[in-house]
Chain A
Amino acid sequence: MMRNTPRAFVGTVMFRLENPVSAGVCDAVERQVGNLSGVSFCDFDEAAGLLIVTAREPVERADVLALLDRLDCRVAQ
């Protein structure tokens, strides 16, 4: 599928970020992704550069990516 093909998910998905992010951005990522409808847990593992998102209700992957893009976080492919 193409990169913007609809991709709703439930459960835990990991997003690996390409570059280190500051503590401020890290907080913003956790807060804003955690506020997405359907997201039940969001944690940023700074050491590993990993964003861990758990959804109990369907969440559109593109919504997470768009939010990260707005926060200037590039997700590794």
Chain B
Amino acid sequence: MTDSSAGPVTDPGGSRDVGPVSVSVALGKVRPVLRGREAEQAALRTVTERAATGDGAALVLRGQPGVGKSALLDDAVAAAQDAVEGTTVAVLRTRGVESEAPLPFAALHRLLRPVLDRLDDIPAPQARALRAAFGEEAEGAGDRHLVYLATLNLLSEVGGQQPVLGVIDDAHWLDDASAAALLFVARRLEGEAVALMFAIRDDESGAFDTPDLTTITVTGVAATAAGELIADQAAAPIAAHVLQELVEVTDGNPLGLIELSRALTADQLTGQHRLPDRLPLTERVERAFLDRYRKLDGAAQTVLLVVAADDSGHPATVARAAAALGAHEDAFDAAEESGLLRVSTEGLMLRHPLVRSAIYEAATGSRRRQAHRALADALAGTAHEDRRAWHLAASVDGPDPDVVAALEEAAQRSSRRGGHEAAAAAWGRAAELTLNPHERARRLLAAAGANLAAGRPLETDLLTRAALVDADDPLLRAELLQLQGQVEWNTRSLDDGYRIVCHAATTAAPHDPAHARVLAMLAAALASFGARSADAPDPSTIVEPPAPQAAPEERVAGLLLDGFTAVIRNDWASAATALRRAWDIPLPLTAPPLLHSNLAIATMHLGDDERAIRLHDRQLQHARDASAVNMIEHALTRGVVFRIATGAWSEAASAAHEALLLDRNLGLHELVALPLAELAVISALRGDATAPQHLRELDAELEQRPPHGAVTGIVRGLAHWAAARQPDVTPSTGLHHLQQIDLPVARWLTALDRIETAVRADRANLAEEWLDELRAFAEGTDMAWAWAAVHHAQAVVGDGDAEENFGKALEWHAKSPRLPARARTQLALGEHLRRHRRRTDARVPLRDALDTFESLGAGSWAERARQELRASGETARRGAKLVATGLTPQESQIAGLVREGLSNKDVATRLFISPRTVDFHLRNVYAKLGITSRTELAALAGALA
């Protein structure tokens, strides 16, 4: 079981005795009544009612401590239960606990515990991932997105039988893993019978960042309600001017009103004596609690300090710890009588989190450490090993190997559960308590790696920098530099990232040449996508080539290094030879993942489309099997580039849409630019009416989040290509865009457009220059598509006999999978023949071109072929058109996958949404298309737009 099983320390039931609650009797039940909260109550009720009709949503209550957020949540729960008397709303509750930050999924576990018996209703891999996240399964949780999806689907399944109200109080203190999972769900409640309500302090949000969720700011109550609240609690009548001052001082904050009025003497309440000096509200409330605390005897104070330091809420644990510090049972009575501590069947709870902060902060460091040590001892031998490790860490005032060992074990457990943030915290804390510099650096490396897995590059960077201060071992330094370089090229500067990876390779070279070669290969791969640094050595000079009989991994690394290096030098013959030899060596699955991924990436440089699609599809399958989201996205978007080249545009658009939805569904905003650029190119090449809209969307994205890292060149290249191929673009504007394409990969993809546009813009010299560049590539690589492009371009620039050039181009096209380029040559040949009055001869290539363009859905090209055919005297048929439907991108994607034969569950798994959401969108699709079944959907002719 996870450490969360013990529950939170403050108020596990959720009801917290904050101000705006008084008690009245309604319909025979004791029911708290709120003062002055009608608007908030109505909003919460609406969210619950909507969820009951399958229109789920999330709502955030944000406000100061003590303003009454918890009371509103309690009221919403009571209202939900009243509203469906006789039936049931499944109410699930949890809260963030500040001290649980290092316990991954602790809060989520408490929320879902009542419905975990429904886990068998969701797909088995998701159920396994959730069990692993909760520490109930030895196997690792795998990709954490699977845990998020499992949470969504579990709630969705429960919602399928009865409406669900999930209530999460103190969400600002949720552990990172729970916060991420709940945010994922909160953004996907469309079509679900699930409502989620969160309460957050307005002065902190922690990992719970909610700018996109509907938020109600809860402010203080008005003067009338304030007077009623104080009248409910005060021992003496309050004078009007005192009430006015209290309302002014507290801004109507109910907890402040009650606690401050309670702290006043009768003379102060009636206005006989002046009020104490003013302090900020939170400090005043804390001081009021602290005054009460200090009036207690030492033993009762010890009990309260232990409860404040505790994060379990377990009476037995706290009792053992308090007893160890000399506080026995009667001290609990005194603490409870003070009103600061509540003891119930659900555990021990402090009156309010401000009680905890007041008492804990007032204690000396030494007293806090004693309390944590006592709690750690009390947890010895229990299942709560993670909590014990963190209490131990708080109990020491310097390095301690036993504490470090306990923290390392906690880190490993967190890592297995997919709690990367918690693992990073435990490893980082272990490092802080480690005296040996090498061991310290090793633990910081582990912490940095866990932060990277959690998607926190800034923290990764800080930890690698700290570790590099201590690390003397060159191989450890190389690992740290590799990590630092990865953060650098992904988030800041490709050039700096490249320089750091070169440094890593140089550092490792004298000690582990094989590893250094992989690092040098990585550096060269970055350089082949545009990275440069005057301060970095040439990667090819860092390490000797491997021996001819070296292991396959070493030879592949050496050949990839040679290949990428040759690409940087535009030495295409050497590049092609080295890369082809690398591809021909069978590589074991156990080889470093960097080798496998770079074998696939290298296909881009030669435009080896068929191999590229094969390798990326294999990568995609492995990624799907492992539900590894980042790798799925990577394989999808890289595969699209080659599908654009070969004319598999429907598949390309589908894959790019899938990647885009994945990025947006999972908040991977930094990855959005590439699939958007691909979609912009596809629609521009097709000549879709939506092409300008796609380009605008891409431009806006690039302006908001300029691309980083190795994809920069390809994203920019695709963006300029899409801009140059917009309808009605003048040759000079088109050329302006095409001249800005630097990356060779992108230059080859656009070679024919660039040369044709240069000719149309009367820039013959530039066209010749680009043709020479393309010819050098074709001569070096002997790629069929490149030779075809050379001959076609020669015809365009007037280099030799045009018909002969087109003929040779078509011979090369016959050996290449690039259908759009072939059809363009056929069209150009047809145009040439027609202009030379050979109208009958022209019809053959024009018909072929038209067939291909129609099959690609390339409307503008097809129309041009039709016009040529008409000019040649043939009446061309009208082609199939895209079915204009008005579907949203998500509906269109879901419809496309259903048409491929995927079930709703499969579509849901693919797109990281719930089957119920798929069903919701599918119903919209049916309504928009005027159909009633997936059979009819599958039978629709043409692609959906």
Contacts and interface: CB of A to CB of B under 8 A. Distances in A.
Nearest to A45: B465
Given A6-B394, A10-B398, A11-B437, A50 B462 contact: yes
Interface string A1-38: 11111111111111010000000000000000000000
Given A1-B393, A60-B365, 13 more contacts: A4-B361, A5-B394, A6-B369, A7-B394, A7-B429, A8-B396, A10-B433, A10-B440, A11-B431, A12-B466, A12-B470, A14-B466, A57-B398
A62 B206 CA distance: 19
A34 to B, nearest CB: 15
Contact of A8 (B372, B397, B469): B397
B437 A1 contact: no
Given A7-B432, A9-B433, A14 B397 contact: no
Interface of A is mostly: strand
Contacts of B390: 1
Interface in B432-475: 432-435, 437, 440, 444, 458, 462-463, 465-467, 469-470
Contacts of A57: 398
A50 B469 CA distance: 14
A37 B429 CA distance: 20
B440 A11 contact: yes
B398 A8 contact: yes
B360 A2 contact: yes
B552 interface: no
B288 interface: no
Interface of B: 98-99, 101-102, 206, 357, 360-361, 365, 368-369, 372, 390, 393-399, 429, 431-435, 437, 440, 444, 458, 462-463, 465-467, 469-470
Nearest to B361: A4
Contact of B432 (A10, A16, A50, A62): A10
A58 to B, nearest CB: 4
A62 B466 CA distance: 19
Contacts of B206: 77
Q: Which 8 pairs of residues, A with B, have the shortest CB-CB distance? A: A58-B398, A9-B432, A12-B469, A12-B466, A14-B462, A5-B394, A11-B440, A8-B397
A62 B365 contact: yes
Contacts of A6: 365, 368-369, 372, 394-395, 397
Contacts of B368: 5-6
Contacts of A7: 393-394, 429, 432
15 contacts: A1-B99, A1-B390, A1-B393, A2-B360, A3-B98, A6-B368, A8-B433, A11-B434, A12-B467, A13-B432, A16-B458, A52-B465, A54-B469, A58-B397, A58-B399
Contacts of B434: 10-11
A4 B466 contact: no
Nearest to B437: A11
Contacts, number: 77
Contact of A10 (B357, B361, B435): B435
Contacts of B466: 11-14, 52
Q: Output the residue of A1, A7, A57 with the most chain B CB within 10 A.
A: A1
Given A1-B101, A4-B361, A10 B399 contact: yes
A54 to B, nearest CB: 6
A7 B365 CA distance: 10
A11 B470 contact: yes
Contacts of A1: 99, 101-102, 390, 393-394
A3 B99 CA distance: 9
A6 B368 CA distance: 7
A21 to B, nearest CB: 18
Q: Output the residue of A6, A7, A10, A60 with the most chain B CB within 10 A.
A: A6
Nearest to B468: A12
Contacts of A3: 98
B173 to A, nearest CB: 9
Q: Output the residue of A3, A11, A57 with the most chain B CB within 10 A.
A: A11
A24 B435 CA distance: 33
A45 to B, nearest CB: 9
Q: Output the residue of A3, A10, A12, A58 with the most chain B CB within 10 A.
A: A12
A76 to B, nearest CB: 9
Contacts of A13: 432, 466
A59 B686 CA distance: 65
Contacts of A8: 396-398, 432-433
A62 B99 CA distance: 16
B396 to A, nearest CB: 7
B431 to A, nearest CB: 6
Contacts of A12: 466-467, 469-470
A5 to B, nearest CB: 5
Contact of B462 (A16, A62, A77): A16
